[in-house]
Structures are given as C-alpha cells and as structure tokens.
Amino acid sequence: MMGEPDLIMVRQFLTSLAVSAFFCAATSLAQAQTAPPAAAPKAAKKDAAKPAAAAPAAPPAATAAAGGAEPTLIGQFGTWGAYSATPNGKKVCFALAKPSSSKTNPPNRPRDPAYAFVSTRPAEKVTNEVSIMIGYALKPGSESSLEVAGASYAMYTQGDGLWIKNAAEEERMVDAMRKAADVTVKGISAKGTETVDTFSLKGLAQALDRIAQDCRR
C-alpha cells in the first residue's frame, strides 16, 4: 500500500493534470509523427496517470487529487494494480507499479517515489499509453530510455515524466512488456544524477486485460 509520502506525490502529480488536460488531442497526432512540442506532451501524457492507494476504495487524499472522482482498485496482479476513475465524467483506467529496484549514480541520492503507468482513456481513443513518473526533475534535453526484451526505446522527457518519443513504436513496446520479466528505465536528473529503475512486469498482462475489460466503451 502507498504511504503518506506517496499520496503527497500522487496529489502533486494529479493536480498538474487538471490544468493541462485540454492539450491531449493535439499531442496524440504530433507524437505519431515526430518528437512532440515541449508543452503539449506533458498535458496529454500526464492525464494518463491517475494513481490511487492500493486499496479497494481510494483514501480521501487520492479522491481529492482526482478532482472528486474516486480512483478504485479493480484488481491486483503481481506487482501491478489495475485502477479506474471517472474524472469530469470521462472514464480512465490504468495499471500502476513501483520499481522493484532503483539505483543512482552517485549512489544513494534522495528522490521522490517513482511510478510506471499504462493507461487507457476511451474518450480520447487512447489505449495502453506508457508513462513513467521518475521522482525528480529531469535534465532538460537529456536522453532517457526504456529497455525491455533486448530492445531500447527512446523516451521523451518533460518535467518529472517520461513518454515514448515515437508513438508508432508504443504498441510493440507494450507487447514486449506483456511477455518480459522486467523493464529498465534510465534517466538523468537536473542535477546530473543518473538513475536506473527496474520494474517487475509480473502481472502486467493480466492487469492490462482487466483494464481493457473495465474501460470497454
């Protein structure tokens, strides 16, 4: 279950979503062709991630962060929780996990909790969108990557979030994540700290099947 520091991070993360949600439609088209403009992807992608406490009913802090819509745990599969919420009357579903291991270089640098999300937003025709909340401000213009099943995918960085640069590769990446044992995410903080986060993928395929069922239109 999430502790109080996790819930504070969730609240900060979700508060930014409400401000920027209207960018979503424009960003989807831009990402399918090239690296997106600086402001748009943050809005579109961050709207994908609406984490909640690992309990059947989300606590008041998570409910407030979701704009009054209560995120609900609809299934726990290995290390991945499947959630649903209906902010502003539009249903969203997402799978959420925390890293199984995290390393920094230099060692033991402090950072906020990291999360991986795979989100579905039927109203925006978005399915299985991968995003990472990395737990620190990323170095502007730095290179980040997601590595799974022997392949490396370039990730676009914005603030404290990561999203795939080439949206056309996302379906292939998610398919690889369904079958692999783990995924590794690499990033560089604004202060130059290098990070390597490993997420176990145990249960992800089942979690994605569950949210696909729950978010079916």
d(Cα 185, Cα 159) in Å, to the nearest integer?
A: 16
Residue that the structure tokens 């819930």 belong to? 7
- Residue 216 pLDDT grade (very low, low, confident, very high; cuts 50, 70, 90): confident
Q: Is the separation of the CB atoms in 95 and 128 below 8 Å?
A: no
Q: What is the pLDDT of residue 38?
A: 36
pTM: 0.71
What 3-state DSSP class applies to 210?
helix
Domain boundaries in the chain?
A: 4-214
- Residue 180 pLDDT grade (very low, low, confident, very high; cuts 50, 70, 90): very high
pLDDT at 15 > cutoff 60 = no
Percent of the chain with pLDDT over 90: 53
Q: What is the pLDDT of residue 39?
A: 35
d(Cα 47, Cα 21) in Å, to the nearest integer?
A: 6
| Residue 40 or 184, more confident | 184
Q: What is the pLDDT of residue 209?
A: 96
Q: In what order do the strands lie in the sheet with 115-121?
A: 72-77, 80-85, 92-97, 115-121, 126-133, 161-164, 151-158, 144-148, 182-188, 194-200, 101-105
Q: What is the pLDDT of residue 217?
A: 55
| Residue 158 or 30, more confident | 158
Q: Are strands 92-97 and 144-148 parallel, antiparallel or unpaired?
A: unpaired
Each residue's pLDDT tens digit, 94-122: 999 999 999 999 998 889 989 999 999 89
pLDDT at 142 > cutoff 80 = yes
- Size (the chain), residues: 217
Each residue's pLDDT tens digit, 79-97: 999 998 888 888 889 999 9
Report the chain's mean pLDDT, rounded to a whole number.
Answer: 75
Closest CA to 128 of 38, 18, 215, 70: 215
d(Cα 94, Cα 67) in Å, to the nearest integer?
A: 17
- For 144, other C-beta atoms within 10 Å of its C-beta total 22
**173-185 mean pLDDT:** 97
- Residue 69 pLDDT grade (very low, low, confident, very high; cuts 50, 70, 90): low
Q: How many helical (H) and strand (E) elements, i.e. helices and strands, does the chain have?
A: 6, 11
Computed on alpha carbons and rounded to an integer, the radius of gyration of the chain in Å comes to 16
**124: CB partners within 8 A, 6+ apart:** 24, 25, 28
